[in-house]
Amino acid sequence: MNRFPLLDPKGIIGLDERNLMIVAAVLMLLVVIPVYIMAFVIARRYRAGNTGREYRPDWGSSWRYELAWWAFPCAVILVLSIITWQSSHALDPSQPIASPAAPLTIQVVALDWKWLFIYPQQHIASVNLAVIPVGTPIDFEITADAPMNSFWIPRLGGQIYAMPGMATHLHLMADVPGDYRGLSANFSGAGFSDMTFTARAESAGEFTAWAAGIAAATTTDPALTAPSFEALAKPSTAVAPVFYSSADPALYNEIVKQYVR
């Protein structure tokens, strides 16, 4: 299971989504398995060489049978529809996760071809490494200064598009510490295959220490300002993690708004 992030999630959202998939698949099997069995049995029983079987060439309709297979899929789909309606609302990515812990906001900018994470509460930023505290709901605010991408950490839950000029929200939470693979799921050009990042879930204490360390390292880590962002935004591939000891608090909104003007 270690290699199957979708089946072995490490966060509440991912877990709910996996369970949903299993329920839906089982419901579908209620239709699929009878179809497989019927196809096999009927074809075998009524093969041309199998003489002695009843042959009714004009038998072309039956209220009872037809009603049955309009009604049966209808029933299955009805159940699925209810599940769909409920799960769409319960797992709406823009909806905050109910939790006693105060949520952490991380602003995500998809760039050609790397991910920028701005921590507005910590006033720091990082590229291609998102450190998050375990057990804390994370509100990812997502945009792009590049073609459309899709922000996805499979082990924590589903994806959402990152689009220039627009801001989407994705609420996720990690329950177990670990390094999780994050990536762009929507093709965005030549460097797309390397547009991956690490989502590192640590304990709340470790996270605070990490953020403080970055903020303190003013000599090694530059500040994220409009000019340094512009330099960063230029296309580059397979970028190793970069850290910014401070981040312009207005930058994210400016990135979103630059296209709306």
Partner 1 sequence: MFGNLTAAAFEHNWIVNAAVASMGLALVGVAALLTYLRRWRWLWREWLTTLDHKRIGVMYLVVAAVMLFKGGVDALMMRGQQAVAAGAAQGYLSANHYDQIFTAHGVTMIFFVAMPLVFGLFNLIIPLQIGSRDVAFPFLNAVSFWLFAAGAALFNASLAVGHFAATGWLAYPPLSELAYSPGVGVDYWIWCLQIAGIGSLLSGINFLATIITMRAPGMKLMKMPMFIWNALGTIVLVVFAFPVLTATLGMLFLDRFFSMHFFTAAAGGNAMMYVNLIWSWGHPEVYILVLPAFGIFSEVVSVFSEKKIFGYASMVAATAAITLLSFMVWLHHFFTMGAGADVNAFFGIATMVIAIPTGVKIFNWLFTMYKGRVHFTTPMYWFFGFVATFTLGGMAGVLMAVPAADFELHNSLFLVAHFHTMIVGGVLFGLFAGFTYWFPKFTGFKLDERLGKWAFWCWIVGFFLAFVPLYILGFMGATRRLDHYAASTGWQPLFIVAGIGAVIIAIGVLFQLAQIVVSILWRERYRDTTNGDPWNGRTLEWSVGTPVPVYNFAVIPNAAERDPLWEAKRRGCWPPKENPAYEDITLPRNSAVPVIIAALGFLFGFGIVWHIVWLALASAAGIVAALITRSCDNDTEYVISAAEVERMESQRMESRLQKP
Nearest approach, Cβ of residue 38 and partner 1 (Å):
5
Q: Which position among 85, 99, 101, 249 is part of the footprint of partner 1 (CB under 8 A)?
A: 85
**126 part of the interface to partner 1, by CB under 8 A:** no
70 binds partner 1 (CB under 8 A): yes
Tell the smallest beta-carbon distance from residue 243 to partner 1 (Å): 22
Task: Name which of 127, 241, 181 is nearest 14 in CA terms.
Answer: 181
Nearer to partner 1 (CB atom), residue 181 or residue 213: 181
Residue closer to partner 1, measured from CB, 27 or 217: 27
- CA atoms of 109 and 196, how far apart (whole Å): 13
**Stretch 9-68 residues interacting with partner 1 (CB under 8 A):** 14, 16-18, 20-21, 24-25, 28-29, 31-32, 35-36, 38-39, 42-43, 46-48, 53-62, 65-66
Which among 169, 35, 143 is positioned nearest to 91, based on CA atoms? Answer: 169
Q: Residue 80 and residue 160: Cα distance in Å, rounded? A: 23
Which 137-156 positions form the footprint of partner 1 (CB under 8 A)?
146-148, 150, 152, 154-155
| Cα distance between residue 11 and residue 156, in whole Å | 5
Q: What angle do CA 140, 143, 144 make, to 5 degrees?
A: 135
Closer CB to partner 1, residue 66 or residue 254? Answer: 66
Task: Map the footprint of partner 1 across residues 154-213, applying CB under 8 A.
Answer: 154-155, 157-161, 163-166, 168-169, 181, 183-193, 196
| Site for partner 1 contains 74 (CB under 8 A) | yes
Binding mask of the shown chain, residues 241 to 260, with x at each position contacting partner 1 by CB under 8 A: ------------------xx
The residue from 64, 88, 205, 234 that contacts partner 1 (CB under 8 A) is: 88
* DSSP H/E element including 213: helix 204-216
Residue 113: asked if its preceding bond is cis (omega within 30°), the reply is yes
Find the length of the chain: 261
Give CA separation, 140 vs 59, 90, 172, in Å: 60, 17, 8
- Quick check: 216 binds partner 1 (CB under 8 A)? no
Q: CB of residue 61 vs partner 1: minimum separation in angstroms?
A: 6
Query: Please, what is the minimum distance in Å from the beta carbon of residue 167 to partner 1?
Result: 9
Q: Which 3-state string (H, E, C) describes 114-166?
A: EEEEEECCCCEEEECEEEEECCCCEEEEEEECCCCEEEECCCCCCCEEECECC
Residue 164: how many CA atoms within 13 Å on its side-chain side? 12
- What's the closest the beta carbon of residue 245 comes to partner 1, in angstroms? 29
The site that binds partner 1 (CB under 8 A) totals a number of residues, namely 91
Smallest Cα–Cα separation from 141: which of 124, 160, 157? 160
Provide the minimum distance between the beta carbon of 31 and partner 1 in the complex, in angstroms, as a whole number: 6
